[in-house]
Structure 1
Amino acid sequence: MTYLSLSGQRRRRTLQAAVALGAVGALGLAGCAGRDPAPESTFVLLDGSKATTADLKGKVTLVNFWATTCVTCVKEMPSIVATYQKYQSQGFETLAVAMEYDPPAWVLNFTQSRQLPFKVALDNTGDIARQWGDVKLTPTTYLVDKQGRIVKRYVGEPDFPALHTLIEELLAQKV
């Protein structure tokens, strides 16, 4: 009888903890109204030109940290291309940031062979990844609103239908 009672107490505590975590998660989502600004960064693009976080204001932007050696990154790239192509005419931008350990020649080859239609940057020093929350895992993707605030962070492949819904909501907002 005591064993069942202890087991029941453990289940109850586990359930209470799960409910508490769910509440924290829900509050975290509700807290998105106070969005953090995207870090001020300068991106060196494959063609040698530069883009800054300030250049992205006024557009909804997907900033994707990736690597050519990352299986999930390679798998999700066609969906990122399709997302860019679907929304680019509406003020949507995509910036793919190759991690510092990714050889530039591999990034260039990948970009050309896959005909990536958006901006691709090299983070040779790792400074950009550090500025964006010390990104270590790839893919890590940020969705930034027109005001330059981070709306969502994805670690791993995003749920693309849900991402598209969020992009459409952000594109509909006034600057």
Structure 2
Amino acid sequence: MENIGSKIFGLFVVGLLSTLLYLTVFSDGLGQAPEVTVTGTQGQSINLNKPLKPVLVNFWATSCPGCIKEMPDLAKMKQTLGDRFELVAISMDYDPVAQVEKFIKANPYPFTFVMDTDGKLAKAFGDVLLTPTSFLIAPNGKIVYQQVGEVKFDMVSERIKQMSPQL
């Protein structure tokens, strides 16, 4: 009886390890970023499917308390990590343009703001409806982190450092 239990447990462990190996080596993780290009604050184009460095995409709204609360922390992360990554804050299509522009003018954060006035960007990222929602995209275009709710800053900062060790 003990022998059968050991064999079943062994098969379970082998199956678990095989699944883990598949997910870490052969899987696309959270998938490929959509083929979307946004214009950065310096006028540079950022192709989110093939960025030159990690990109944190943050969907937000002026009516979202969590979004507004995390903006200073996003700015602090950008200041700390500097050119190691790009940060793109995308406002939702239901957010009035004048309200978004007023917020951006009153809060000159050190990252790129993009207005998704037609909802195409939210749709491209899997129909984002809730804010804040963030995606970390690796330089190879793979989405390596996705969060509905406020960003896990320590985890995301470490992932960015791992993906851009040269800077």
The 1:152/1:167 distance shift into structure 2, 3 A limit, reads same
Q: CA RMSD in A?
A: 2.8
Equivalent pairs counted in the alignment come to 147
The one of 144, 152, 158 equivalent to 2:151 is 158
Q: Choose between structure 1 and 2: higher helix proportion.
A: 1
CA distance in 2, matches of 1:50, 1:124: 20
- TM-superposed deviation, 1:95: 0.4
The equivalent of 2:135 in structure 1 is 142
The equivalent of 1:131 in structure 2 is 124
The 1:120/1:55 distance shift into structure 2, 3 A limit, reads farther
CA distance in 2, matches of 1:133, 1:54: 14
Q: How much identity, in percent, do the aligned residues show?
A: 36
The one of 70, 73, 79 equivalent to 1:76 is 70
The equivalent of 2:108 in structure 1 is 115
Q: How is 1:25-44 mapped onto 2 (pairs within 5 angstroms)?
A: 27=20, 30-31=23-24, 34-35=28-29, 36-43=31-38
The 1:139/1:113 distance shift into structure 2, 3 A limit, reads same
- TM-superposed deviation, 1:42: 3.4
Give unmatched runs, 5+ long, in structure 2.
Answer: 1-15
Q: Taking structure 1 as the reference length, what is the TM-score of the superposition?
A: 0.73
- TM-superposed deviation, 1:109: 1.4
The 1:117/1:56 distance shift into structure 2, 3 A limit, reads farther
CA distance in 2, matches of 1:106, 1:170: 35
Q: List per-residue Cα deviations over 1:68-93 (Å, max 9, x = no partner).
A: 1100000011111111111123x310
The 1:113/1:147 distance shift into structure 2, 3 A limit, reads same
Give unmatched runs, 5+ long, in structure 1.
Answer: 1-22
- TM-superposed deviation, 1:30: 4.2
Q: List per-residue Cα deviations over 1:80-129 (Å, max 9, x = no partner).
A: 1111111123x310000000001111111111211111110010111110
Q: How is 1:37-76 mapped onto 2 (pairs within 5 angstroms)?
A: 37-43=32-38, 51-53=45-47, 57-76=51-70
